Amino acid sequence: MWFTVGNIYYDTHQLDRALSAYTRSSELKSDSWLPVFGAAKVYFEMGNKDIGAELYEEAFTNAEEDVRKSVLRDEEFEPFRQYESQTGLEKSDIKGGPEEEPSDIENKENNRNHSELLTDITTKR
């Protein structure tokens, strides 16, 4: 529910509320990286592109393959891809990982708690 609330706030440009909703969603649904992708969009929209890119990269690296494929098709993430080309970041940093992508099992083993990640990022802001 909180993820959907975050999307509604994001779509109506209530970015602080969207970020709060995505953070709450992340706390409640620890097995989904979707709230982190949402928070990345919010930070990017707020002008905190480095933080948005960091969140995007972390989420993309740890998300399951079907989520990564969906994100790559999602036009809302085009600004991240443009940012990558403008800043010269490695393709693996923004577009989707190294040539050999880790398996979902490896992702789960290396998973950083995304709720903690969002809390850490929010306090940097």
| Token pair recorded at residue 7 | 């999307």
Neighbours of 41 (CB within 10 A): 25
Place 111 in a pLDDT band, splitting at 50, 70 and 90: very low
Question: For residue range 50-100, what is the model confidence (pLDDT) as tens digits?
Answer: 899 889 988 998 999 999 999 999 999 999 888 877 886 554 444 444 444
Average pLDDT score over residue span 95-119: 51
pTM (2 d.p.): 0.74
Whole-number pLDDT of residue 21: 97
pLDDT at 35: 95
More confident residue, 61 or 122: 61
pLDDT value at residue 93: 47
Q: In angstroms, rounded to a whole number, what is the distance separating the alpha carbons of residues 24 and 115?
A: 8
In the chain, % of residues over pLDDT 90? 50
Joined together, the tokens standing for residue 117 give 């990640």
CB-facing half-sphere around the CA of 84: CA atoms within 13 A? 17
Q: What sign does the CA torsion over 70, 117, 81, 62 have?
A: negative
pLDDT tops 60 at residue 108:
no
